[in-house]
Structure 1
């Protein structure tokens, strides 16, 4: 009866509702604004710590009010009633275990292992999530429970003024338990925060690294594809140029077959006359099938790869289309006009097989099963895809049209309920190149870290349990002995303290002073060493910076340094209206030199050419760099004639140079491409470099060992 009346009076107390509202609001604010985000929607919610603090300091009834507010805010925030269910069950379980004299942390761990995690796992099974993701969520829930429970215990220890005297008296705990619990709280909580912070940092770093890697792969893929197309465009241009000479029908067919053998990327090649009639085709099997088509389908009049070269007398690269006659693959047509005596005589065309992009994927990604690509043309049509499941393509387009989650990152996408990281680049043809990677690698990383944290926590708790008992015995045993000795003495008699007590304190003081002196001397010595090491480091940094700006083999500028310095000189020339030029130089047949005489001899050739370049172009305004491999790039100021004479002089100098390998003498030559820029030229430096590279290509194509130049007004 007394207990019932006491309960009724307690429920009528304004303090109950005041404190319940206070702790509930603190918990709700913590859940909303003080979350600990690990990855994506994987978040630690710590509002429950105020509910458990209320349980320890104000009792179960007050904690029920706080839990209703705190967990209700979490339900509202996540739109998930799961939290309201499990966290309120947790409070009921902990209230019962506290009555049975269990420690709050051990009771909470028992709850999650026996009740909370099984309920969570059952709910996750209905969500059809991957097994790794389920394990990660279960580990996170256990860590979350341990974390907010320790926070509640710490608040109860370090905020004793909130504790009420109305709670029932409890049996006093032995010193070993007090030391153990304080040790766990003061060590485990910071350790847990640091471990989770490091986990978050490592996950973020790993995510950034992964995204950067995907972007690099997308960019490399774009470059490889562009080089692939350009290489075949050059081949078609060369074929058309050869066909400018009047060849017989058999010679033309033989030439076409040879080009198809040299460039297997073409699924088919053809020659059409000025009336759009296909006169030759390769391979022969495809051409024979083509001849079997109706006469009205023998003409390619409606094809842009015929109309455009005919109208403009320039090469053409088509958009993606489906083949006709030679197959049904996705292809692009590359064509070039055949011009004889300034008159259009037809075209040479090659149908480039796009499904061969799979070879590029293997070259770029290897056998990585977690990474795949998707290539779309300018009309969002799939050119190539290597997704693990064909249905994922539809899921990808559906994901693009769906509204993204508020906290979704720009490089994340959810396809058929599974998260992927991706990066995309778009080339000048409007193609979009996507590179994807499953987020399972990040999930595995988080789960592994959680395992390490949980194992570490268990080890720490066991270790402190042992240490607490040991320390307690060493502290209490002398104290008990002293009290027993003191209690046996008569009044007025002197107490005989242990003889070693004062000596230990004196010894400790002496050691502390000695340690302080050692520390002070060490700091002075350390400051001196730091100053000396700083000077050495500054000198080393200077040397490293110098090495970073130069090519290790030749001592010339490297490409990055050249780009920076040449850009400044180029802009200065434009401001002062001074003529200048960019030249690209390349050793002819350098691969043959390496193959015949070895790479060391090849390096000797490169060094010799670099030294003669430095001797030949030694003005302060001349910039020379090793562009890559056997290529060099030079920025010079001056008019066209002077520059051409100087480069022609250099070319002849190299032509006469004799190199040796063992007892063999040999010579090398260089091809040069120059882009001259008049004072009024308005193009950018990178465009001038590309034009010089084109002129170098012309020098190569026209027989090598020569200079080809172009002037931009």
Structure 2
């Protein structure tokens, strides 16, 4: 039951320790992280969980890991890594417990378990694919190995305790050298590699950002000039109509010539002051529309007519869907026809926006795309690869995965693009877009270079560490083998395979061994002498602990211990037992009259008489304190006990004590209580009964013995 309680307390303690470490790890994951690229971040909270696992066991490590993952969830909103990190803790625990170095164990985990499991999570759950998938996988591997490396550094400064799994197996020196070398080179190498990779990516981003901004600005100017060119053409036609006579055929030819010279126009029309369309180009489509409507077309309700009629100035409309001459998205460019400063109609040209494809082909690289939106954020043009429908609302959506540190990101049709934008004079926004693959490819190349370099460094340090360790361990093993025996080896066999330091070590050890052998001989002799002296002293201490120094009788403590045992034995065997207390009468008078040395002599005299009379194995005699003595008689009948005690009182009274030519008369009083037939009585009560009888003897004149029993 006690073992079960102790085990339960231990489990609760390990859980509490794990929770404490996990809370610290969660805070580190949430607050202390480093951006590698975009929202790909390096989190270091798992360091705390790994240290907790090594120092306090698997349960504490798993608890710490799960809690630390909560901090990761609040930081990046991803719950998919609970299982991954728990697997990592269990895997590391199993390998480290068997003597595998932590960093090597973590490398094996990511190679055989972590990388495949992360691929499944990232590819099938997060939906990340392509080059970016490779970067994310590399980030997790680097994060894991960096965490293990830093944890190894921390553990190297943390003294092992009995519960830690790293104290169970002592690794070889070669393994320790290799581990420390790898940790020392891996940690700074990974940090430097990540910094260089991030800097290279940011440099490339700055170049791409400048290219996109320049291209967006260029395209905004190109499109503005494109619109301005067509607007000027419309204005020129309106001015010609203002100057020329009303010759229908000549005017129609003039309109056709301008329409043909500027293929960006899908159509051009001329109206009268009432908004009735009187001429149009292409003429065949214009005539067909009039024929199908059976009436003259009127545009007096259109903004491009009303605004020009009101302001008598040029007008550029918002984008709208064409009618009559097609259904492509168009903008209307209109100018007033003024004769003698009187408004007589308009010339309007419908600019076909799909012709922006020609501008796109002229200005854009193969991997660049374009999107144009108007003031109302409606799409008026989009490259075909963007799969965006014109005249629909442009929804600016940021991708869940941040793919760049500096360049703006937009998501269209579930695809992410880097982009820059620029506004034209007409209030349109020109978006120049580029897929982020170029950055991913650069990052992937750096990742491959870092991985190959790191593997090469690890293999190089493995070879160097083994060679270096063998130069140290082989001579040391030979030294241990030789010095474990009794013979002293010759230095030649060591110097052939060792360095100068090992040779000096051998000479020092040889001298130390010689001194040690001589010291052991002297120490052995001294130990024998000290042992005999110690035995004698122990015996003396034993006597001092049990005997009274003046009388050599039992002292009170030893007497009480033995008396209790005799009382229990007497009660158990139903045998009579007598307890007596003896007190020297008028002892103060003796000290005052003859001096304290005489008093001590009298005490020793009484002790001698007691030891002489009560000398059976069942008798127990002690100096109980001052001039008092206590004794137990445990053999014979109560009558025989009484006889012996009376004889003792009589002998003392008849004795003449001579001390330094002084004769001293001496008497004693005695109280004795007998327990019969195994009656139970507490030892303290037995003492009280005998003490009460002693005082009765003193009160009745001294030099007497008073007896009592439990009958």
Query: Structure 1 residues 115 and 144 mapped into 2: Cα distance closer, same or farther (>3 Å)?
Result: same
Match of 2:434 among 429, 433, 437: 437
Query: Structure 1 residues 237 and 61 mapped into 2: Cα distance closer, same or farther (>3 Å)?
Result: closer
CA distance in 1, matches of 2:390, 2:344: 44
Query: Structure 1 residues 494 and 324 mapped into 2: Cα distance closer, same or farther (>3 Å)?
Result: closer
1:644-655 aligned within 5 A: none
Query: Structure 1 residues 61 and 275 mapped into 2: Cα distance closer, same or farther (>3 Å)?
Result: closer
1:456 aligned to 2:466? no
Query: Structure 1 residues 88 and 481 mapped into 2: Cα distance closer, same or farther (>3 Å)?
Result: closer
1:271-290 aligned within 5 A: 271-290=270-289
The runs of 5 or more residues in structure 1 that have no matched partner are 503-713
Partner residue in 1 for 2:634 = none
Displacement, 1:402? 11
Displacement, 1:191? 0.6
Contact persistence 1:289–1:325 (CA under 8 A): no
> 2:347 is paired with a residue of what secondary structure?
strand
Partner residue in 1 for 2:221 = 223
CA distance in 2, matches of 1:58, 1:184: 25
CA distance in 2, matches of 1:95, 1:394: 61
CA distance in 2, matches of 1:20, 1:492: 55
- When normalised by structure 2's length, the TM-score is 0.61
- Cα RMSD (Å) of the superposition? 4.0
Query: Structure 1 residues 352 and 64 mapped into 2: Cα distance closer, same or farther (>3 Å)?
Result: closer
CA distance in 2, matches of 1:33, 1:395: 42
Displacement, 1:401? 10
Q: Deviations over 1:551-585 (max 9, x none)?
A: xxxxxxxxxxxxxxxxxxxxxxxxxxxxxxxxxxx
Partner residue in 2 for 1:333 = 332
Partner residue in 2 for 1:380 = 377
> 1:244 is paired with a residue of what secondary structure?
helix
Contact persistence 1:269–1:281 (CA under 8 A): yes
> 1:355 is paired with a residue of what secondary structure?
helix
Displacement, 1:450? 2.8
Displacement, 1:83? 1.7
CA distance in 2, matches of 1:466, 1:494: 28
CA distance in 1, matches of 2:341, 2:250: 22
Displacement, 1:352? 1.4
1:445-524 aligned within 5 A: 445-475=442-472
Displacement, 1:238? 2.1
Partner residue in 2 for 1:42 = 40
For these two proteins, the number of residue pairs brought into alignment is: 496
Q: Deviations over 1:70-101 (max 9, x none)?
A: 23433454443322211111111111112222
Q: Deviations over 1:256-291 (max 9, x none)?
A: 222223222111223333343333322232233244
Contact persistence 2:26–2:72 (CA under 8 A): yes
Contact persistence 1:268–1:286 (CA under 8 A): no
Larger mean CA deviation between 83-92 and 51-60 belongs to 51-60
> 1:81 is paired with a residue of what secondary structure?
coil
> 2:222 is paired with a residue of what secondary structure?
helix
1:206-605 aligned within 5 A: 206-247=204-245, 248-294=247-293, 296-368=295-367, 371-388=368-385, 390=387, 397=394, 400=397, 411-475=408-472
CA distance in 2, matches of 1:467, 1:415: 54
Larger mean CA deviation between 7-16 and 433-442 belongs to 7-16
Displacement, 1:448? 3.4
Query: Structure 1 residues 387 and 144 mapped into 2: Cα distance closer, same or farther (>3 Å)?
Result: farther
CA distance in 2, matches of 1:102, 1:7: 33
Partner residue in 2 for 1:137 = 136
Contact persistence 1:392–1:415 (CA under 8 A): no
Displacement, 1:189? 0.5
Contact persistence 1:373–1:387 (CA under 8 A): no
Contact persistence 2:277–2:296 (CA under 8 A): no
Larger mean CA deviation between 94-103 and 319-328 belongs to 319-328
> 1:146 is paired with a residue of what secondary structure?
helix
Query: Structure 1 residues 166 and 408 mapped into 2: Cα distance closer, same or farther (>3 Å)?
Result: closer
CA distance in 2, matches of 1:316, 1:292: 29
Displacement, 1:489? 10
Query: Structure 1 residues 458 and 11 mapped into 2: Cα distance closer, same or farther (>3 Å)?
Result: farther
CA distance in 1, matches of 2:393, 2:178: 54
Displacement, 1:179? 2.1
Contact persistence 2:106–2:148 (CA under 8 A): yes
CA distance in 2, matches of 1:493, 1:120: 58
1:184 aligned to 2:187? no
Displacement, 1:389? 5.4
CA distance in 2, matches of 1:144, 1:402: 24
Larger mean CA deviation between 461-470 and 133-142 belongs to 133-142
Match of 2:78 among 75, 80, 102: 80
- When normalised by structure 1's length, the TM-score is 0.61
CA distance in 2, matches of 1:98, 1:280: 90
Displacement, 1:307? 3.3
> 2:44 is paired with a residue of what secondary structure?
coil
Partner residue in 1 for 2:95 = 97
Query: Structure 1 residues 348 and 85 mapped into 2: Cα distance closer, same or farther (>3 Å)?
Result: same
Contact persistence 2:398–2:411 (CA under 8 A): no
Query: Structure 1 residues 276 and 72 mapped into 2: Cα distance closer, same or farther (>3 Å)?
Result: closer
Displacement, 1:396? 8.1
Displacement, 1:56? 2.8
> 2:385 is paired with a residue of what secondary structure?
coil
Contact persistence 2:308–2:334 (CA under 8 A): yes
> 2:243 is paired with a residue of what secondary structure?
coil
Contact persistence 1:486–1:495 (CA under 8 A): no
Larger mean CA deviation between 465-474 and 393-402 belongs to 393-402
Partner residue in 1 for 2:49 = 51
Q: Which has the larger radius of gyration?
A: 2
Q: Deviations over 1:186-238 (max 9, x none)?
A: 11110101111222233333334434433333222221111111111122222
